[in-house]
Amino acid sequence: MILLAAAVLLSYYYMVYERRKRATIFGNIHLIEKTHGFKRFHISPWIALTKLVVVILLYLIATQSLQVYYIRPAENTAYMILLDSSASMSAADYEPSRIAAARQVAEEWTRLLPEDTLEGLIAYSDRIETHVPLTRDHEQVLEAIRQVRVNYTHIGTDVDAALRKAITDFQLRAANQSKVILLITDGTAAPDPLIISRLKELNIHVFAFGIGRENETQTSLIQEALRELEQENPGVNTTTYVSQALNMSLLTQLARETGGQAYRIENREELYQRLQEATLETVPVALSGTAYIVGLIILLLLSEFILAAKLGGL
């Protein structure tokens, strides 16, 4: 109320000041009649329009019909990132490489999370390479993400092992929260049906992000990665390597059965966009309450006084 009174007083003194200026310019009543078309009651269309707009806004706020929207990570949700670090992730069709692009996007996304959000990381090839259990220490997760590298001495892809580890983490640390797995991979075999059943039973949703090319088994990209592997690790036998090429149909089936979604990713920018799409929610907020109503009343009074002082009329 003090703010309202102050606004009215300031507006009144401003109006008096403006009218005194006009009175100084037009000191003769006959001149005022000729110039302004002197009227004791004059309605300014600008003041009338301002009143109409403010009254409509007041009505919308009073009836909670006016809403604004903002985007935020889903509340009360725990996230586990499953990051494929098998040999094929070293391919350079994503700049600077698939694994580097995935790391960068995972870092950027992690920085969006509220402080109290549980997050974990599992990097895997034919075994679990890195495991950060669900935690609210996002710096620990970020450091682990930065350290993920392709391990050329373990070049298979065991998504079942990663899913089992994620299930255990959720059971231990996020029993009463929504549970989401973010699977970033360039290839997958058919998951064990028992694992899918367990995911469904625990209401764990899998969002899968398929990067690379479908059906690229033993293509030039993988052959190049294998050649680099042999050069850097002379003792490694690459003849035992079996490529599990990107299979979007399997990823789509896994996501659909667990209530998630699968995305075919073409580049780093799309990966970031789809990761946000999968985990952020748009929240409507109704504008209501005394503060908004008082604010609009002040705006109405200010507008009326200022326009009346400038233009004359009511």
- Does one domain contain both 56 and 91? no
Q: Residue 281: beta bridge partners?
A: 72
> Which structural domain, as residue segments, surrounds residue 85?
71-284
Q: Return the pLDDT at 240.
A: 46
CB atoms within 10 A of CB 166: 26
> How would you write the pLDDT of the chain (314 residues) with one tens digit per residue?
455 445 545 655 555 555 555 555 545 555 555 555 444 445 556 666 666 676 666 666 555 555 666 566 777 899 999 999 988 888 888 888 999 999 999 999 999 999 999 999 999 998 999 999 999 999 999 999 999 998 776 667 889 999 999 999 999 999 899 999 999 998 877 889 999 999 999 999 999 999 987 655 445 555 666 666 667 666 655 554 445 678 899 999 999 999 999 999 999 999 999 999 999 876 666 655 556 666 666 666 666 666 665 655 54
CATH number at residue 106: 3.40.50.410
- Does one domain contain both 217 and 271? yes
- Does one domain contain both 78 and 114? yes
Q: Return the pLDDT at 308.
A: 61
- Does one domain contain both 77 and 196? yes
- Does one domain contain both 62 and 208? no
- Does one domain contain both 268 and 307? no
- Does one domain contain both 131 and 256? yes
Residues 6 or more apart in contact with residue 286 via CB below 8 angstroms:
64, 65, 66, 67
- Does one domain contain both 115 and 252? yes
- Does one domain contain both 61 and 173? no
- Does one domain contain both 35 and 87? no
- Does one domain contain both 120 and 246? yes
- Does one domain contain both 129 and 30? no
